[in-house]
Each structure stands twice: as C-alpha cells, then as structure tokens.
Structure 1
C-alpha cells in the first residue's frame, strides 16, 4: 500500500465499520476452530495489527508484513511476535499453524504469484489447519481505491473454488460479501470517478459520520449472519473463503 494508507488504517481500524465487521466474521471462525484450546495463529500481511490484538485470547499470535511502517504501527499497539517479511521470498515453516489469516493481501501488485503464496500457506498449516482469507471481488469494481492500496487482482468465486479444490483444500465457506457495497461502489465508480481527475482520487478510507458508521456496521453484521449460515450471496464487493488443509 501507499505509506499514507497505513497511517490512515491505524487511525480508523479500531472503529471503522468495514474493519470491525470483517474482524468479527474472522473471529467467529477462529473461535469455532479453537474449541476452547489455545491455537497457534499467523496473520500474514498483518497491516497495523488490530486483528492481531483481537486474536490474543485464542492462543499464540504471530504476524508479519512487508512494510516497515506497518510493523512500526504494530509496535505502537504493544504487539510482539511481529516481523518484516515479504511473501515472495518467505520460506514457510512446515505444519506449524492451526490458523492462518490473510485479508486482502495476495491480491496486491507486490505479490508476484498469488497461488504460490496460497501453497506456502498450505505448507505452513498443520493437518486440518484452517485458512481464512478475504479477497476483493469482481474486476468490474476496480477503481482508484485499488491503486492506492496496490490492488492488482480481483477475484470470482468459481475460479477460487476450482483452485482451492485443485490444491486439495476442503472448502468450508466460499461466498461473496456485502452486496449493497457492490452496488454503491459500482455507482460511485461510474457516476463519480469517471469525471474526477485521476490524480485527485484516493482510497475509500476516510473519516465517516458516527451515525453512518453505526448503520453500515449493522448492515455488515447482517451480512455476517448470512455468511455464517451459508445463505448464498451472488455478488458482493468482497469474497470470503474459509478452507481446511486435509
């Protein structure tokens, strides 16, 4: 990401509706996997570390990111077990983690081969370990935000499912998320960004009215409820995948 995006993320991540909703969904699957036992968890591409904070009650949590700014902001949160690492050169330990989480990371232009990274995650997982991963969905939605966060790829569910099956993962959940946000982004892109100069466009992460934030968080929680009950959503701004190593 652009350096400034990490500092914006650090400022907003604790309360911003998008992060809170995604973190709550991830934590629900981690809690389900723990069955009361401590887990060894890796946050691959940990950003500024808010999710790592929330994961602490579930066991030993480690994280890495390619950005020095991200690691600096993680230390401001008091986090340990964090380091700089590049997914392209990362040599995964074998059968080490119960859970690996990687939210909106392999899609970035800084990642040379996204599927090689997924294979690395598979190597690092223990038998029956869980991979939780969030992707940006639908190439149609590519916009200024993607450029600001170095987003190179957007994904479709059918392609993802084929690839994960080919690697031998057992898919527990693969679903689009936030269909209303899909519509809003689509309208914003074609009605607004089409006539604004490209050098004036930035990411979507901006201060938001507290009431609007609460409304959007409530929408996100409804969406999470649907995802957890495997009620199919046929479009969305994101694609959420939970799969298990055999």
Structure 2
C-alpha cells in the first residue's frame, strides 16, 4: 500500500463509519464461533495493527505484514506484536494458532496466489482452529477507490468458498456484508462512470456517521441469516 494512503487511513480509521461497523460485524461472527476464553491469534496482513483492538478481546494477538513501515503506525504496546513477513511464507511453526484472521488482504494486486496464502493459514492453525476471512465483493463494483487501494480482484462468495475448500478448510459460515447500503453503493458507482477524475487520498476519510448503524443492524441479524449480496464477503472456516 502507498505509504501516503496508509498514513491517511491511520488518521481516520478509528472513527470512520465503515471501520466501526465492520468491527461490530467481525465481533458478532467471532462471538458465534469462538468458545474458548483464551486463544492465540494471528492476523495476516495486519497493516497498522488496528484490528488488534477487536481481536485482543478473544486472546493474545500477533500480526504479520510485509510492509516495514506498517509498524511505524501500530499502537500495539498492550495488544499485540507485529512481525515483518510474507503472507505466502508465514514465519511461524505448524499448528501454532487457535485463530487466524485475514481482513482485506487477498484482493490486492501484489497477491499472486490467494489459495497459497489460505494454505499457509491452514498450516499454522491448530486442528479445529478457525480462519476468519473478509474481502471486497463483486468485480463489477470496482470504484475509483479500488484504483487507490491497488485492487487486483473483488470476489464472489462462491469463489471464496471454492478457494477455501481447495486449501483444505471446512466452511462454517459465509455471508455478504454491507447489504443494506448496497443499492446506494451501486448508484454511486453508476454516477462515477460520468465523473472519471480519480478520487483524492482525502476522500478515503469521507465519513457519514449514520451509516455505521446500518452495519450494526446487519451484525445483529447475522446470528440468524446470511446476506445474499453486499460490498464485502466474510467467511468463517475450520481446519
């Protein structure tokens, strides 16, 4: 990721509606499937370590990211440690973790083998361990933000399920998220077709606080349903 984009996101990600809403959704899924009070957790592609604030509720956390500068923005003194390393060759022994997470990593243009990264997650998980994955959905929903984030590919749920199974996992739950705001997002993409100027980095921090309540609502319903479409896909898979 461009260091300037990482710096800008670090400035606003703690209060941005999307971050807060997705935190709630991830916590809902973890509450549903994690029954151990204390776990050893790995976050692949942890970037600044912001995810540790959620993950540390469920155990001891370490992260791995290939960007050395990510550690400059990580406030992890009480929540975890970041290792510099390659997601395709994780610097950990087999059967080391109860939980592995990977949030918005596989879609990037520098990922050459997404199934290979899934297999690495499988390798370092203990038997019965959980892999929690989140990626952007639908390639036809590409926006100007995808240019800034250097997107290689946006996935479908079926595609991620097939890849997880190819890596050896048993998929426990898969769902789209950001379902309620999906029509607005589609409309916005259509409008963008007529205004092709690239979004500035500052646009990444554009906030509409009320939107987080749509994601809070989705989080509540996840115990009962899986959403049929949305802007993101989340999967919980078991080794």
TM-score over 0.5 (shorter chain): yes
Provide the C-alpha distance between the structure 1 equivalents of 2:193 and 2:205, rounded to a whole number of angstroms. 16
Aligned equivalent of 1:242: 236
Mapping of 1:136-155 within 5 angstroms?
Answer: 136-155=136-155
Aligned equivalent of 1:176: 176
Provide the C-alpha distance between the structure 1 equivalents of 2:87 and 2:202, rounded to a whole number of angstroms. 23
What's the CA shift for 1:202?
A: 4.8
Provide the C-alpha distance between the structure 1 equivalents of 2:184 and 2:113, rounded to a whole number of angstroms. 30
* Contact preservation (8 Å) 1:148, 1:203: no
Aligned equivalent of 2:162: 162
What's the CA shift for 1:237?
A: 0.5
CA 1:26–1:179: 2 relative to 1, 3 Å: closer
CA 1:172–1:183: 2 relative to 1, 3 Å: same
* Contact preservation (8 Å) 2:32, 2:223: no
Matched, 1:85 2:80: no
Q: TM-score, normalised by structure 2?
A: 0.90
Equivalent pairs counted in the alignment come to 239
Provide the C-alpha distance between the structure 2 equivalents of 1:228 and 1:47, rounded to a whole number of angstroms. 29
Aligned equivalent of 1:227: 222
- C-alpha offsets along residues 142-200 of structure 1, whole Å, 9 cap, x if unaligned? 121112112211111112222323333221111111123332222222213432324x5
Matched, 1:73 2:67: no
What's the CA shift for 1:52?
A: 0.8
1:164 is paired with a residue whose SS is helix
Aligned equivalent of 1:49: 49
* Contact preservation (8 Å) 2:45, 2:66: yes
Instruction: Provide the aligned C-alpha RMSD in A.
Output: 2.2
